[in-house]
Structure formats: structure tokens, C-alpha cells
Amino acid sequence: MPVYVKPENGKCSEMFWDAQDRAYGGVYVECRCRIDHYAVESFYMDEDDPPFPPESDTVRHHGDCDSIGHFEFIGQTFVYGCDSCSQYLRRYEDFIWAERDTIRNYLKIRIDQEKKWADQEHLRNILAEI
């Protein structure tokens, strides 16, 4: 298990990044910050590909990596290593932690209700001889 350090820089923690269960990789990703992230330039050498753009405020190169880590959260794309994404996610991480008791209670109530619904469905299947 990794050893985590509490971030003091206004960015989300490594724990929050690691907690994402739908992580992806790609050679080009546009994040929620409207920044275009590119992996190594050699991936874009097909004649049909557009020219590799120079780095700027809206374009980031990720050096020698062959895949850019990112995930979808709240309907938006967040890129690992993007400072703007990390600062934005920090607000969600802080909210989740501050409201953890409410969230925990909600999840317990919701899980209990889902179990009741599943039991009712199971009973209907038994009665229908399915």
C-alpha cells in the first residue's frame, strides 16, 4: 500500500487520483480546463495526422510518456499531472471528506433500499417460477 502525504499546495491528493476506478490512457486528451495534452510527438507522424502543436497555455506535452493518464468524473475529463485539474478536484475531495458522515449515511440507506428492491424482485421471480 502506498504511503500518502497530505497535500499543502491546493491540489488534490494522490489518494483521490488513486481512488478513481475508471482510469484511462491516451496519446491525446482534452481536459476540463480546455487544455490539449499530448504524449510523445512520434505518435503523430502519420500523413493524415495534423502537425504536432507547440506547447502553449492551452497545449501541454507530456515528454516521453506514451500514454496520458486521465479519468472521467462528474461528466468531465481530468488529466493526471494537470495542475488546473488537480486544483479543481481538490474542491470535490474537500467536500467529500467534510461531508463523509452524510455521504456514509446516505450510502447505507441507499444500499439497504437497493437490497429491499432486489429481494422484492427475487420474490417476484420465484412466484413467476423464473
pLDDT: which is higher, 84 or 22:
84
- The CA distance from 35 to 58, in Å, is 4
pLDDT exceeding 90 applies to what percent of the chain? 58
9-67: pLDDT as tens digits = 899 999 999 998 888 888 889 999 999 998 876 555 566 666 678 888 899 888 777 88
- The CA distance from 28 to 59, in Å, is 10
**How high is the pLDDT of residue 41?**
62
Q: What is the mean pLDDT of the chain?
A: 88
